[in-house]
Structure 1
Amino acid sequence: MSSQVEDGSGSGGGSGGGRYRREDVARAAGVKVRNLRYYQERGLLPPPRREGRIAWYSDDHLTRLRLISDLLGRGYTVNGIGELLHAWEQGGGLSELLGLEREMTRDWVQEEPVTLSRGELRELFGPTATAADTRRAAELGYVTIDGDLVTYPNRRLLESTLALVRQGVPLAEILDAGEFVQAQAAAVADRFVGLFRRYVIDAAGMDGSAGPEGLERLSATQLQHITAAVAALRPVAGEVVATEFARAMARRVDTEVAELLRTEQ
């Protein structure tokens, strides 16, 4: 699958370094392509930079689109979002707000997508993988299906799955394990986000139940404080989870090896 995303000079509407075609920025932000023009018409999104017939969007466009989607998901109207963005721009806090959103969402997931035809997928996994497995993988978010094409958002996850299958683990069992891990990961994420909200966001004076007027009161200084906290705490959650999982695996493997040695005696 060819990528339309480039690194290089910034594009219109911001200083972000990435360059995205219309379809790619919409896909990355999780919005429909037609929404881009609508947001531009409503003044929520700056126009892209044009080079000939190509419209290039920047990282700042992507960040703003994600912010718009988040606010829509929280019940704000398009007019309300426009008023918020205008208030932040007038108060000089919009760059801090966009920086906060960018800091809070970047780097959590680093994925390299892989797109295969269904035939290529059968060659990789062999006869043990069924159409039902593919449908379930899509339900769990491990793949997206577009006609005859199946896209894995994460190449490493695909390679890990293949390694298990080649060791004889049924794909259905791997998907069961994946669903279990998703539930546990969601619980861990909820715990860390709860701690962050209680001791960082609320401490900065941002009540989690605040409406638009509360968001308008969030000053540039508060936004900078929260952004700095996100940058400092970002590695912590991942390190804690990775370390505890490694320790748990070591204990569990030690127990299994000891059991095997006893059965050999």
Structure 2
Amino acid sequence: MSSLVHEDAADDGTSGGAGRYRREDLARAAGVKVRNLRYYQERGLLPPPRREGRIAWYSEDHLTRLRLISDLLGRGYTVNGIGELLHAWEAGGGLSQLLGMEREMTRDWVREEPVTMSLAELGELFGPAATAEDTRRAERLGYVRIEGDRVTHRSRRLLEATLTLVRQGVPLAEILDAGDFLQVQAGALADRFVGLFRRHVIGADGLGRLSATQLDHIGAAAAALRPVAREVVAAEFAKAMALRMEAEVAELLRSQQ
């Protein structure tokens, strides 16, 4: 859609090339504060960046390791405990397998193109169909991020789908209601898939006692799960929509008799 304003990678602060991040961009991608990133470096949890002149560049490996640290913190590990765990893995030569497994388990699930524009441009797209409260709710639901007078929608596809529905007369508030409901249902479905994966692929011992070979197996299994999960969800939703649309058409025909 030509009216959508897109900022490409050359303008987003990661212009050093694929997989290279400045400090602020790395922190944003990992969902942590910059001061926490510095603290992890000071404690030896995160290797130093590679420097080119005055610029410090972080890599995909830094991002993967930072996400692993955040995950372990969320599971109740202390910073000291994480440091000991990482050092133990490094000493045993298995850290690369651990990080590789983490990459395979978390990468490529979301393949969306964000769209950035001004708030005024967003208002022009939706016109009077959108209110300030709709925008605030979209932000609470995680669809948009507002920074000053700039707004970034996390998905071009979702934005265009929303515009299509609005132009067909569906109120934006009801679209957001549906999005809220869908997020809850998608979360429950993801929990079900992850539970199956945890029980039958990772096993009861968790990651602490797994060998490098087992970690490689888990990473490969996660890579195989991604397309399967997408296809299962798409197929089941398509089937459900077909059945309900057939019922809707039948009701419309009956109403014309």
TM-score, structure 1 as length reference: 0.89
User: Comparing 43-52 with 60-69, which one deviates more in the overlay?
Assistant: 43-52
Partner secondary structure for residue 139 of structure 2: helix
Partner Cα distance (2:14, 2:231) in 1: 30
| Helix, strand or coil at the partner of 1:108 | coil
How many residues of Structure 1 are paired with residues of Structure 2 in the alignment? 248
Query: After the TM superposition, which segments of 4 or more aligned residues of structure 1 sit over 3 Å from their partners?
Result: none
The one-letter amino acid paired with 2:205 is M
Q: 2:16 & 2:104 partners in 1: Cα distance?
A: 19
Aligned-pair CA distance for 1:198 = 1.1
Equivalent AA in structure 1 for residue 86 of structure 2: L
Is residue 231 of structure 2 the alignment partner of residue 239 of structure 1? yes
Residues 191 and 216 of structure 1, relative CA distance in 2, 3 Å threshold: closer
Length-normalised TM-score, structure 2: 0.92
After superposition, the C-alpha distances for 1:71-126 in whole angstroms (9 at most, x for unaligned) are 11111111111110000001111001001110011011112111222211110101
Matches of 1:7 and 1:234, distance apart in 2: 29
Q: Deviation at 1:177? A: 0.5
Sequence identity, in percent?
Answer: 79
Give the direction of change, closer, same or farther, for the CA distance of 1:49–1:133 in structure 2 (3 Å limit): same
Q: Tell whether the 8 Å contact from 1:113 to 1:152 is kept in structure 2 after alignment.
A: yes
- Aligned counterparts of 1:71 and 1:55: Cα–Cα separation in 2: 26
Q: State whether structure 2 residue 212 is matched by structure 1 residue 220.
A: yes
Q: Hey, what does 1:27 align to over in structure 2?
A: 28
- Tell me which moved more, 159-168 or 230-239: 230-239
**For residues 141 and 210 of structure 2, what CA distance do their matches in structure 1 show?**
36
CA distance in 1, matches of 2:113, 2:13: 14
The whole-number CA distance in structure 2 between the counterparts of 1:30 and 1:92 is 28
CA distance in 2, matches of 1:238, 1:206: 28
Amino acid at match of 1:136: R
* Higher relative contact order, structure no. (Cα contacts within 8 Å, ≥ 6 residues apart): 2
Whether 2:85 is the aligned partner of 1:84: answer yes
Q: Tell me how far apart the structure 2 counterparts of residues 97 and 5 of structure 1 sit (CA, whole Å).
A: 26
- Aligned pairs for 1:124-203 within 5 A: 124-202=125-203
Cα deviation for residue 28 of structure 1 reads 0.6
| Runs of 5+ consecutive residues of structure 1 not aligned to the other structure | 9-16, 208-214
Change beyond 3 A, Cα 1:216–1:201: closer
2-structure distance, mates of 1:28, 1:233: 23
Structure 2 residue ranges without an equivalent (≥5): 1-6
* Matched residue SS, 1:144: strand
* Structure 1 stretch displaced more, 24-33 or 58-67: 24-33
- Summarize deviations over 1:144-187 as a string: whole Å, max 9, x none: 12222221111111111111111111000000000111111111
* Deviation larger for 120-129 or 145-154: 145-154
Contact 1:87 1:216 in 2 (8 A): no
Paired with 1:164 and 1:95, the residues of 2 have a C-alpha distance of 46
Kept in 2: contact 1:6–1:18 (CA 8 A): no
User: 2: CA distance between counterparts of 1:247 and 1:111?
Assistant: 24
Let me know the Cα RMSD of the aligned residues: 1.5
Aligned partner of residue 107 in structure 1, secondary structure? coil
- Mapped to 2, the partners of 1:18 and 1:141 lie a distance apart of 24
Q: CA deviation at 1:7?
A: 7.3
Instruction: Label 1:135 to 1:227 Cα distance change in 2 as closer, same or farther (>3 A).
Output: same
Q: CA deviation at 1:3?
A: 1.7
Question: Aligned-pair distance for 1:30?
Answer: 0.6
**8 Å contact from structure 1 (residues 63, 101) kept in 2:** yes
